[in-house]
Amino acid sequence: MDQAAPAVQTIETSDSVISYRDLGEGPVMLLLHGGGPGATGWGNFSANAADLASRFRVIVPDQPGFGASRLVKDSGATYHTLSAQTMAEFLSILGISRAHVVGNSMGGGVALRMAMQRPELVDKLVLMGPWIPGFGIPLLAPLPIPLLQEYYPDPTPEKMRLLIKSMVYAPTFENFDELVASRYAASIDPDIASGYARMGTGTDPDPDPRPMWDQVAAIPHETLLLWGRDDRHCSLDDAFQYLAAMRNSQLMIFRQTGHWVQVEQRQAFARHVTAFLAD
């Protein structure tokens, strides 16, 4: 049985009010959620946090504009850059000088940005279907899924149900209906809807002139790539491109698994992540 959820806490950074949960003891692990409508840190990672807290101090924030976290001063940077800067400041305020960073989808892209911008702060990376603009060439990508693009401006429970079904190989996990309901309820909050829209705006004030492939290839950190063979959002060809670019990486592929490896392969996820980070 999963332990009770720890209390929600808040920290004010220079640009955001960040809501987070903090549990366990040991090496610090920062879990960064994906960017779908209604996404939250605890919604993405509550079960995983409970599994990992016996070996690690697990910190699960809502990124700016998601869940209960609010962006109060917008720098105008791209969302990945903005959130990476905020998460680095967030860790600094907590007195954490180094952390393992685990990210799914958009959260994986933010983790990559943290490794690029604050390499001294990041220990090891664990990435599940990471997405960062400008990386990769879709060679074998599945047909585009319009569910994300068409969710707003008229969200409905059925749209949310279809979206979450697209994230997994099969919607057979225990709390599927509860997740649909909670994500839909969050997604219709005007602040969360505007936070989601913010992901597609902004420009880097001082962009790195190198192509994104070269920026990713320059990341020296040990990296574990976890990928669903049936990921409909970040297809398997992306996995091999990250493996080719990141010379200090290893890749594990899970059959009959979609975009949410941590949900569909919960026990294996905890086992492999623990072994990789403890090595």
Q: Where along the chain do its domains lie?
A: 9-278
Span 248-259, pLDDT tens digits: 999 999 999 999
Cβ partners under 8 Å of residue 156, min gap 6? 184
> Does residue 80 have an active-site annotation?
no
Looking at the structure, give the CATH architecture of the domain made up of residues 9-278.
3-Layer(aba) Sandwich (3.40)
How much is the pTM?
Answer: 0.95
- Which entry of 80, 233, 259, 272 is annotated as an active-site residue? 259
> What is the per-residue pLDDT across 68-81, written as a single tens digit (0 to 9) for each?
999 999 999 999 99
d(C-alpha 43, C-alpha 49), whole Å: 11
6-58: pLDDT as tens digits: 999 999 999 999 999 999 999 999 999 999 999 999 999 999 999 999 999 99
Measure the CA–CA gap between 83 and 114, rounded to whole angstroms: 9
